């Protein structure tokens, strides 16, 4: 194990290790190191603001799909200082079945935006959602704070080929299509056995708009084959046989 990995391993075992190690972790990103230059804000966090999303969850079983639709709201409830003395924001996620129903709190997220990256903690797991400045094709390890030292620089999430360009969100859940002028898209890299294009297809995409935040989130995992229990032979299909898909589309932003 080289000196860099020993240093990272030691840092991760200290109370302050995660934040101290952040510049080292992000320096492993593809193409260029990250520097704290002024950047377009693709994840604005302001206390008292909220974003509301239309959501659909689809589940395929034996080539039949069932779809559940609902709404999610992410409200920036407060700003606080974490144990390492760094600013952080508490996002309260609420859910309702229809636009006319009342909101019920569902979970709490912690967001830490900085000039280098946007960190998100959910279910006690911290991920690196964005790195700055955004560059087309740049990759990073979104699990850098939970990965073992020998995989700390593994590139798992990437910016798409267009940074700062427009993106049109298709019509969804009764809402018309909408175009955002300045956006970035990120996607996640899956292993071949999870996304070989023939037996299985998996994907994860997030689209952010400048000054707005997340406008689209999609993740899915499909199987396009069935297995004969008698002899283990597989039959391939063009349509999904089993799997799940999740999609969120921004409906509105506002202030409470």
CA-closest candidate to residue 171, choices 101, 96, 249, 254: 249
pLDDT tens by residue, 14-52: 333 444 445 544 544 544 444 334 456 899 999 999 999
Q: What is the pLDDT of residue 78?
A: 97
Instruction: Write down all domains in the chain, each with its CATH number in brackets.
Output: 3-255 (2.40.360)
Contact 109, 118 (CB under 8 A): no
Q: What is the pLDDT tens value at each position of the chain, 256 positions in all?
A: 443 434 344 334 433 344 444 554 454 454 444 433 445 689 999 999 999 999 999 999 999 999 999 999 999 999 999 988 999 999 999 999 999 999 999 999 999 998 899 999 999 999 999 999 999 999 999 988 886 666 667 899 999 999 999 999 988 878 899 999 999 999 998 988 899 988 999 999 999 999 999 999 999 999 999 999 999 999 999 999 999 999 999 999 999 8
The CA-CA-CA angle for residues 176, 54, 142, to 5°, reads 115
């Amino acid at each position: 194990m080289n000196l860099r990995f020993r240093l990272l391993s030691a840092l991760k075992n200290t109370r302050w290790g995660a934040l101290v190690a952040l510049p080292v972790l992000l320096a492993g990103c593809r193409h260029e190191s990250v520097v704290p230059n002024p950047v377009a804000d693709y994840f604005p966090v302001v206390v008292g603001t909220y974003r509301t999303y239309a959501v659909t969850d689809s589940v395929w079983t034996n080539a039949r799909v069932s779809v559940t639709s609902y709404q999610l709201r992410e409200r920036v409830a407060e700003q606080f200082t974490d144990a390492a003395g760094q600013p952080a924001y508490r996002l309260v996620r609420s859910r309702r079945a229809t636009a006319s129903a009342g909101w019920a709190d569902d979970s709490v997220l912690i967001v830490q935006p900085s000039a280098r990256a946007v960190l998100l903690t959910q279910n006690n797991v911290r991920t690196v959602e964005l790195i700055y400045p955004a560059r087309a094709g740049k990759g990073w390890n979104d699990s850098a704070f939970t990965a073992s030292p020998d995989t700390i620089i593994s590139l798992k999430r990437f910016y798409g080929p267009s940074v700062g360009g427009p993106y049109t969100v298709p019509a969804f859940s009764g809402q018309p299509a909408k175009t955002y002028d300045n956006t970035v898209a990120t996607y996640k890299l899956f292993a071949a056995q999870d996304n070989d294009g023939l037996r299985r297809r998996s994907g994860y995409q997030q689209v952010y708009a400048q000054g707005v935040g997340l406008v689209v989130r999609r993740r899915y995992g499909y199987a396009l084959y069935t297995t004969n229990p008698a002899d283990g032979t597989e039959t391939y299909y063009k349509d999904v046989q089993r799997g799940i898909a999740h999609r969120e589309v921004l409906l509105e932003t506002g202030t409470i």
